[in-house]
C-alpha cells in the first residue's frame, strides 16, 4: 500500500500488512537514518501496537514520520 504523507520531510510511505502484522515499511525521502530505524522497529509487529505507540508523536507541523505511519496504518485497517 502507499500513503502520501502531510507535513513531513518524507513524501510517501510504502508498506505491507499481512494478518494484522506489518511486514514491510519504506519511507520515500525523509531523514534516512530515522526513517530506516522506524521501519526496522515496526516490521514484524502488530498494526494495533504500532498505532498505539506512534500516534500523536510530533516533530514539526503538528505531526512526524512516526505519526504519519500510524495514520497510514489506521487508514489501511479501517
- Res. 78: pLDDT tops 90: no
| Domain residue ranges in the chain | 2-77
Q: Give the Cα separation of 54 and 34 in Å (integer).
A: 14
- Model pTM above 0.85: yes
Q: What's the pLDDT tens digit per position in 5-34?
A: 999 999 999 999 999 999 999 999 999 999
Q: Give the Cα separation of 19 and 63 in Å (integer).
A: 27
- Res. 70: pLDDT tops 90: yes
Amino acid at each position: 500500500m502507499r500513503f502520501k504523507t502531510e507535513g513531513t520531510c518524507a513524501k510517501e510511505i510504502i508498506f505491507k500488512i499481512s494478518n494484522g502484522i506489518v511486514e514491510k515499511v519504506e519511507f520515500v525521502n525523509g531523514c534516512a537514518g530515522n526513517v530506516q530505524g522506524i521501519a526496522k522497529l515496526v516490521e514484524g509487529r502488530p498494526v494495533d501496537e504500532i498505532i498505539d505507540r506512534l500516534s500523536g508523536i510530533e516533530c514539526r507541523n503538528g505531526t512526524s514520520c512516526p505519526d504519519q505511519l500510524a495514520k497510514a496504518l489506521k487508514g489501511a485497517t479501517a
